[in-house]
Amino acid sequence: MQFSSVLLENAVNEFAKLPGIGKKTALRLVLHLLKQDNGSVLHFSDSIAKMRSEIKFCNRCFNVADGDICSICANSLRKQDIICVVESIRDVIAIESTQQFSGTYHVLGGIISPLDGIGPDQLHIEALVNRVEKEQTAELIFALNPNIQGDTTIYYIQKKLQPYAVNITTIARGIAFGGELEYADEMTLARSLQNRLPVEKYVSHR
């Protein structure tokens, strides 16, 4: 791509560093910003810079926060004795979008993956165990991706939690809603059979 302005080229190169953004899309975004007035572009760049420099992580659940404690942990209407354990902040946002969960979260910051050199010590697992002990958590719901690393992580944490009277569950796994049986892989189909539900429970959830 040939540019007649280094300023333009620099901006395009910065946008193109973002995931999923190629040079062409970057150029389109930059040209769009060029059409905006100075004030709104300043507001745009300011909010990104401010987000990066001022954002914090919740002392309790490691979700993003504006202060020491996130708005979910600080909300007395949420069930503070139910913890949903997730891998990343993206998972918190995905579950919050369903508006079906009224407990709190614990963001592990990854999952145990020896091949990638990620062990339990690099994750917020000890903090979770301490939290369950201190807060006398009633239920822990694992909402981790259904793969070997996710299962390893669940296994590891539930062993650590054995001394405590916490009810441990995982989100259901199986055929996606609207999916077709014949296209499901064997693992998914096998899990669906293992984790089958009584029909009245299944129907009442619709």
Residue 170: phi and psi, rounded to 5, are -130, 160
- Piece of the chain touching Zn ion by CB under 5 A; list 6-14, 72-80, 134-142, 155-163: 72-80
Site membership for Zn ion, residue 82 (CB under 5 A): no
84 near Zn ion (CB under 5 A): no
For residues 88, 146, 143 and 156, what is the CA-based torsion angle, rounded to 10 degrees? -90
Q: Which is nearer to Zn ion, 70 or 125 (CB)?
A: 70
CA dist 142 and 125 (Å) reads: 13
Task: Quote the CA–CA distance of 26 and 14 in Å, as a whole number.
Answer: 8
Residue 92 sits in the site that holds Zn ion (CB under 5 A): no
Position 83 contacts Zn ion (CB under 5 A)? no
User: Toward Zn ion, which CB reaches closer, 139 or 151?
Assistant: 139
Contacts of 145 by beta carbon, 8 Å cutoff, 6+ apart: 87, 111
58 versus 154: smaller Cβ distance to Zn ion = 58
Q: Enumerate residues 9-68 that contact Zn ion by CB under 5 A.
A: 58, 60-61, 63
Q: Which of 8, 29, 73, 127 binds Zn ion (CB under 5 A)?
A: 73
Q: Please say whether the beta carbons of 135 and 108 come within 8 A.
A: no
- Residues in touch with Zn ion (CB under 5 A): 58, 60-61, 63, 70, 73
